Amino acid sequence: MRGDGMEATDRMTVLVTGGAGYIGSHAVLALRDAGRPAVVIDNLVTGFRWAVPEDVPFVEGNVADMDLVGRIIAEHDIGAIMHFAGSVVVPESVVDPLKYYRNNTAASRALIEAAVAGGVRHFIFSSTAATYGIPEAIPVTEDAPQRPINPYGMSKLMTEAMLADVAAAHPLNYCALRYFNVAGADPQGRSGQSTAGATHLIKIAAEAACGKRGHVAIFGTDYATPDGTGVRDYIHVSDLAEAHLRALDTLMAEPTRSHRLNCGYGRGFSVREVLDAVDRLTNRTIERRLEPRRAGDPDALVADNRAAIATLGWTPRRDDLDTIVRDALAWERGLK
Ligand code: UD1
């Protein structure tokens, strides 16, 4: 014990890749709020320098640059990595699969090699519900078959596979967090989804509510769901960031165990329900245009989150669609 109420391990410095991006920046804020040291590496292709607080060390660079990452690990005595950096647009992955195998799979391979060489003990990986493909049963448990239906999901699944093999061979444990639909923004207004040309429903609806788009398309009304539109499990980005801190503690507490855990609330909302919430909270009516199904969209995707809650001791605090939408709207209003 250090005598100041903090174990030495709490001071372990975390390298956050993609820390200037949407989810990564919220994780950096959560680490900083908890008084835990972090260093960010981000190539600023989709991230923003302003999203990282000035007092957090920042390196502009590529996670596939093993020399650079090796130097950061040595210089900052990095004990754990939270790996958010990557490409995330599913339709783009279908037309440009090699970009996804480069930015997600190959870059992760290099990063993991640098982590092993540098003696990093813990690795937290941003995986995705897209690794399940079209699930046979809802809610989806972690042992459901992983059969991605797009290169994005496959690029992430390949990284999960690498981590499993590496953890068996080297003194490193990992937690793959399989995100469902991440939305919302920091309740204190310090970060939010800022990428131009977003494809995510809540972001798009927030843009429409702020007059930045004329309408929202509803992709498919004939799904096998109660109102015919796609059902998803939306999770507040700050709850997800908190899950990463819990994952780090869990990995440190039992360094020989690794985990693969769903991150969602275990409850689904349809596209219409999401748009209804936006209308209700803004007292406006967004124009909805009914359009054909988008390729590769499953009817419903809802997490069984019991393992994450039990394993991580994670308590979701913003499990409420209106809260998610309200925070997304507040952020969108503040964006130029
Ligand atoms: C997808 C991935 C998810 C990944 C995320 C990252 C799958 C199954 N899921 O989420 O793992 O993390 O992308 O990019 O591949 N919708 C509309 N109109 C719109 C936009 C969306 O109706 O303008 C509908 C979609 O058809 C879907 C729902 O809204 O039913 C959510 O879509 P979106 O926000 O794009 O996320 P996913 O495709 O579910």
Q: What is the atom index within ligand 1 of the atom nearest the CA of 293? A: 26
**Catalytic: which of 132, 152, 223, 265?**
152
Provide the pLDDT for residue 1.
39
Task: Say how far residue 182 (Cα) sits from the centre of its chain.
Answer: 6
Q: Whose CA is nearest to atom 16 of ligand 1?
A: 201
CA of 296 from ligand 1 middle (Å) equals: 10
Q: What is the pLDDT of residue 296?
A: 79
Ligand 1 atom closest to residue 180's alpha carbon, by position in its atom list: 11
Q: How many whole angstroms from 164 Cα to the centroid of ligand 1? A: 27
202 within 8 A of 325, measured Cβ to Cβ: yes
For atom 31 of ligand 1, which residue has the closest CA?
201
Q: Candidates 155, 235, 297, 321: which one to mutate for ligand 1, based on the most atoms within 8 Å of Cβ? A: 297
Confidence (pTM) = 0.96
Closest alpha carbon to 178 in 159, 198, 206: 159
Is 174 tagged catalytic? no
DSSP labels, 25-53:
HHHHHHHHHTT--EEEEE--SSS-GGGS-
- C-alpha distances out from residue 232 to 48, 111, 137, 301, Å: 28, 31, 14, 5
260 phi, psi to nearest 5 deg: -130, 115
Q: Is the N-terminal amide bond of 97 cis, ω within 30° of 0?
A: no
Provide the angle, in degrees to the nearest 10, between the axes of the packed helices 22-33 and 237-253: 60
Q: List, in sequence order, every residue forming a beta bridge with 216; answer none if it has no partner.
A: 288
What is residue 33's predicted lDDT score, i.e. its pLDDT? 97
**Long-range contacts from 32-37, C-beta under 8 angstroms, 24+ separation:** 32/56, 34/245, 35/6, 35/10, 36/10, 36/11, 36/12, 36/245, 37/11, 37/12, 37/13, 37/76
Instruction: Please give the pLDDT value at position 336.
Output: 65
| Ligand 1 centre distance from Cα of residue 200 (Å) | 6
Q: What is the pLDDT of residue 8?
A: 54
Residue with tokens 């068996």: 168
Count of all residues that appear for the chain in the document: 336
Residue owning the nearest CA to atom 7 of ligand 1:
130
How far is the centre of ligand 1, averaged over its atoms, from the C-alpha of 52 (Å)? Answer: 26
Which pLDDT value is given to residue 147? 97
The ligand 1 site (C-beta within 6 Å) comprises: 88-90, 128-130, 179, 181, 199-201, 204, 216-219, 230, 232, 271, 294, 297-298, 301
Q: How far apart are CA 139 and CA 63, in angstroms?
A: 34
230 alpha carbon – ligand 1 mean position (Å)? 9
| Closest ligand 1 atom number to CA of residue 274 | 29
Structural contact between residues 15 and 39, judged by C-beta atoms closer than 8 angstroms: yes
How many other C-beta atoms are found inside a 10 Å radius of the C-beta of residue 185? 29
Count of Cβ atoms closer than 10 Å to residue 54 Cβ: 7
Q: Which atom of ligand 1 is nearest to the CA of 231?
A: 30
Q: Which residue ranges form the domains of the chain, and what is each CATH number?
A: 12-184+235-264 (3.40.50.720)
Which pLDDT tens digits describe the chain residue by residue (336 residues)? 344 444 555 689 999 999 999 999 999 999 999 999 999 999 999 999 999 999 999 999 999 999 999 999 999 999 999 999 999 999 899 999 999 999 999 999 999 999 999 999 999 999 999 999 999 999 999 999 999 999 999 999 999 999 999 999 999 999 999 999 999 999 999 999 998 888 999 999 999 999 999 999 999 999 999 999 999 999 999 999 999 999 999 999 999 999 999 999 999 999 999 999 999 999 999 999 999 998 878 999 999 999 999 999 999 999 999 999 999 999 999 986
The kind and range of the H/E element at 131 are none
